[in-house]
Amino acid sequence: MSEWIAVISITLLAVISPGADFALVTRNSLILSKRAGLFTAMGIGLGVLVHLSYTLLGVGLLLQQSTWLFNLLKLAGAAYLIYLGIGMLRSKAVDTPAAASPTPASSLVALRGGLLTNALNPKTSVFIISLFMQAIQPGTPTTTQIAYGAFIALVHVGWFSLVALCFSAGSVRRRLLSARQWIDRLFGGLLIGLGALLAASH
């Protein structure tokens, strides 16, 4: 029972802390659509499953012990965030409502963006590995560890889906869409800044 309390409390604190995931979901919900925001949230959940999979397989221990491998993941994540940010800075304002309507292609792009942003985020990697190495006992059954992982992924999807719903609400979105270019610049600069800080961190 104490393990569940630790997993729940640590996960809730980690998921609501602002970061690249939050920035991407917020931007996609505002600029693209509610559907794009929800697909981004699902992609983030899939990214969490990537971290959980290699942690359960023992690769997480390798990442923890191998400085160069962790730095490689960190630089890949930083490069992807900067790439996303530059793309947002270069995007142009769209005047027609039809241009912002959701399509299956844009939904898949949003899903992929959420997946890669989370899967390449070393902070999520550190969170998952630390949780499983410190809060969960070695003798905990594999099925229970998988249940912990499913809970962590579902909390991420649930939280970021809520964020998507809030920022894609009609009244909020209508007011902010007129400032689309400035929103793209804001979140683009934020992602570039996060990527730069990530690349420079030790």
Could you report the per-residue pLDDT of 111-157, keeping only the tens digit for each?
A: 999 999 999 888 888 888 888 777 777 678 888 888 999 999 999 99
Cα 52 to Cα 78, 141, 149, 193: the distances in Å are: 20, 15, 6, 27
Residue 34 Cα distances to 29, 77, 130, 186, angstroms: 5, 25, 33, 19
Model confidence at 93: pLDDT above 60? no
Report the domain count for the chain: 1
**Nearest CA-CA partner of 85 in 202, 190, 196:** 190
Question: Is the pLDDT assigned to residue 186 strictly greater than 50?
Answer: yes
**Structural domain that includes position 112:** 1-200
Cβ 149 vs Cβ 60: under 8 Å: no
CA atoms within 13 A on the CB side of 7: 23
Which of 91 and 146 is assigned the larger pLDDT? 146
Query: Among 176, 190, 70, 160, which Cα is nearest to 120's?
Result: 70
User: How much is the mean pLDDT over the chain?
Assistant: 80
Question: What's the Rg (C-alpha) of the chain?
Answer: 18
**pLDDT at site 175:** 66
- The CA distance from 110 to 202, in Å, is 30
Predicted model pTM: 0.76
Of 10-14, 67-71, 102-106, 139-143, least confident by mean pLDDT is 102-106
- Looking at residue 191, its pLDDT comes to 76
